[in-house]
């Protein structure tokens, strides 16, 4: 038999920050989660799989637009026409959704109850599926402990939305351990919640398929589900099904050899050309460029991320491709001349370095700086305020970190002007 295991669809997930970029392919990005899910349904029908397992987070939190749920029902209806049943649990995001409480799903969809773990069987395949949905978003109970014992003589699948207790980047919902899952005696655990593909092979097979579609730079690379082939002896093969329609990629550029902003732009151009020459993926790419390294251009780069992005957009446009969008250019460089070297000079620049160090601890200076900067913050559009992390610090009066960050760049810039 063959079945598809998918999770973390996050239908119509909002993509924040897009309105800050007039050039953003907003329509494509907003529709990406639906398009990826439709690709998954197409694969299930074309492959004629025996069933589909959805391990939670079908929706994306407190959405009240029923068009999202209607779309999901329509896709489930396509599977019904193909004779493919679906077995699903609700995850933490589904527990927040109004749609999960009101929409009537097609009868080929079996949704596991949230009150207790239960079992459904597919007798002609000798398959038993065990699962439990989230009732509340912040479910911190170990749900795996309540799952039923395996059915003898059947291929047992546990469907569970869990952080597995090992992923610090995800909320620790329904925590459990690999050892607990192994001990249950099932043949396969279909997990959801963690958005990266992972497989454990022990006394049984435990899988996170990852999410179907990357939604931001932290979800870079290929995304999709898994196709599981099994027989009476257990899992025989696991194949990844890539169904995403757009991929996120982080391109790192070493600015170490660069002395000016113009040289940094040229370095980015070379790396960008190399990526485009060797990238075999035909899907559109949303790219973030990270400029790093200890460089003499550090001072000139400070505050120039918007200009850098404009320069890079021009480079990408010159290549005539419509498959690449530059989401952001971020600088993480450090000054070539560090503060100790500048302090040792014993001149006016070293005096300024000392004053700037003292300014970080000067409460009166910090308060005065906050007063001046708040005049600017009040005039900036809300979208930009949310996109620039400094604005939150300015409002809170926590400006020592900002002064500390500006200091080496300012000193480096002044030193380069001598």
Every domain of the chain and the residues it spans: 2-242, 246-336, 341-418
- In this prediction, residue 12 carries a pLDDT of 82
Q: Decide: 120 and 88 in contact? Cβ < 8 Å.
A: no
Between 2-16, 86-100, 394-408, the lowest mean confidence (pLDDT) is in 86-100
More confident residue, 375 or 155: 155
Q: Decide: 397 and 377 in contact? Cβ < 8 Å.
A: no
Q: What is the DSSP string of 336-356?
A: SS-HHHHHTT-SHHHHHHHHH
Number of H helices, E strands in the chain: 15, 17
- In this prediction, residue 326 carries a pLDDT of 87
In this predicted structure, the answer to whether residue 208 has a pLDDT above a threshold of 70 is yes
In this predicted structure, the answer to whether residue 203 has a pLDDT above a threshold of 60 is yes
Q: How far is the C-alpha of 324 from the C-alpha of 276, rounded, in Å?
A: 9
Q: Which of 23-37, 135-149, 238-252, 322-336 has the highest average model confidence (pLDDT)?
A: 238-252
Q: Decide: 180 and 192 in contact? Cβ < 8 Å.
A: no
More confident residue, 167 or 233: 233
Band of the pLDDT at 186, cuts 50, 70, 90? very high
Band of the pLDDT at 70, cuts 50, 70, 90? confident
Output the average pLDDT for the chain: 84
CA 229 to the chain's CA centroid: 28
Kindly state the tokens that stand for 255.
């600015």
Between 67-76, 122-131, 191-200, the lowest mean confidence (pLDDT) is in 67-76
Element at 114 (helix H, strand E): none
Please report which residue ranges of 151-260 form alpha helices under DSSP H: 178-184
Q: Which fold has domain 2-242?
A: Purple Acid Phosphatase; chain A, domain 2 (3.60.21)
- In this prediction, residue 100 carries a pLDDT of 56
Q: Considering only the C-alpha atoms of the chain, give the largest distance between any 2 of them, rounded to a whole number of Å.
A: 86
- Residues 6 or more apart whose CB falls under 8 angstroms from that of 358 comprise none
Buried/exposed 344-368: b ≥16 CB within 10 Å, e otherwise: eeeeebbeebeebeebeeeeebbee
Q: Decide: 11 and 41 in contact? Cβ < 8 Å.
A: no
In this predicted structure, the answer to whether residue 177 has a pLDDT above a threshold of 80 is yes
Kindly state the tokens that stand for 174.
């329904």
- In this prediction, residue 386 carries a pLDDT of 60
Residue 326, helix vs strand vs coil = strand
Mean pLDDT of the region 228-252: 94
Q: Decide: 158 and 181 in contact? Cβ < 8 Å.
A: yes
In this predicted structure, the answer to whether residue 418 has a pLDDT above a threshold of 80 is no
Band of the pLDDT at 173, cuts 50, 70, 90? confident
Could you read off the pLDDT of 15-42 as tens digits, one per residue? 655 555 666 676 777 788 899 999 999 9
Whole-prediction pTM: 0.81
More confident residue, 378 or 412: 378
Q: How far is the C-alpha of 236 from the C-alpha of 405, rounded, in Å?
A: 54
Band of the pLDDT at 97, cuts 50, 70, 90? low
Mean pLDDT of the region 201-217: 93
CB count in 10 Å sphere of residue 236: 11
Of the chain, the percentage scoring pLDDT greater than 90 comes to 42
Q: How far is the C-alpha of 220 from the C-alpha of 259, rounded, in Å?
A: 31
In this predicted structure, the answer to whether residue 246 has a pLDDT above a threshold of 80 is yes
Between 61-65, 302-306, 324-328, 405-409, the lowest mean confidence (pLDDT) is in 61-65
In this predicted structure, the answer to whether residue 357 has a pLDDT above a threshold of 80 is no
Q: How far is the C-alpha of 240 from the C-alpha of 225, rounded, in Å?
A: 6
């Amino acid at each position: 038999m063959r079945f598809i295991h998918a999770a973390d669809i996050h239908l119509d997930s909002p993509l924040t920050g897009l309105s800050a970029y007039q050039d953003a392919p907003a329509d494509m990005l907003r529709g990406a989660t639906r398009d990826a899910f439709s690709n998954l349904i197409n694969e299930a029908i074309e492959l004629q799989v025996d069933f589909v397992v959805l391990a939670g987070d079908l929706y994306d939190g407190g959405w009240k637009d029923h068009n999202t749920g209607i779309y999901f029902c329509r896709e489930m209806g396509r599977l019904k026409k193909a004779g493919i049943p679906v077995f699903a649990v609700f995850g933490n995001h589904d527990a927040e959704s109004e749609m999960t409480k009101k929409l009537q799903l097609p009868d080929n969809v079996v949704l596991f109850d949230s009150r207790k773990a239960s079992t459904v069987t597919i007798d002609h395949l000798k398959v038993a599926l065990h699962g439990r949905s989230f009732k509340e978003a912040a479910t911190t109970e170990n749900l795996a402990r309540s799952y039923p014992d395996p059915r003898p003589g059947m291929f047992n699948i546990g469907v569970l939305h869990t952080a597995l207790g090992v992923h610090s980047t995800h909320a620790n919902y329904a925590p459990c351990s690999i050892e607990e899952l192994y001990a249950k005696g099932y043949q396969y655990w279909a997990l959801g919640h963690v958005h990266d593909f992972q497989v454990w092979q022990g006394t049984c097979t435990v899988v996170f398929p990852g999410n179907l579609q990357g939604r931001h730079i932290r979800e870079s690379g290929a995304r999709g589900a898994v196709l599981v082939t099994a027989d009476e002896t257990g899992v025989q093969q696991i194949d990844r099904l890539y169904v995403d329609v757009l991929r996120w990629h982080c391109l790192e550029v070493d600015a170490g050899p660069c002395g000016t902003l113009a040289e940094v732009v040229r370095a980015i151009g070379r790396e960008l050309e190399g990526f485009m020459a060797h990238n075999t993926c035909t899907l559109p790419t949303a790219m973030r460029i990270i400029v790093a390294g200890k460089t003499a251009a550090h001072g000139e780069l400070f505050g120039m991320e918007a200009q850098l992005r404009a320069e890079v957009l021009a480079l990408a446009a010159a290549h005539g491709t419509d498959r690449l969008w530059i989401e952001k250019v971020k600088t993480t460089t450090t000054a070539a001349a560090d503060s100790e070297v500048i302090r040792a000079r014993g001149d006016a620049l070293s005096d300024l370095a000392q004053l700037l160090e003292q300014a970080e601890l000067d409460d009166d200076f910090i308060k005065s700086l906050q007063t001046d900067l708040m005049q600017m913050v009040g005039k900036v559009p809300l979208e930009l305020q949310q996109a620039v992390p400094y604005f939150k610090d300015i409002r809170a009066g926590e400006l020592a970190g900002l002064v500390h960050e500006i200091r080496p760049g300012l000193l480096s810039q002044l030193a380069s002007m001598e």
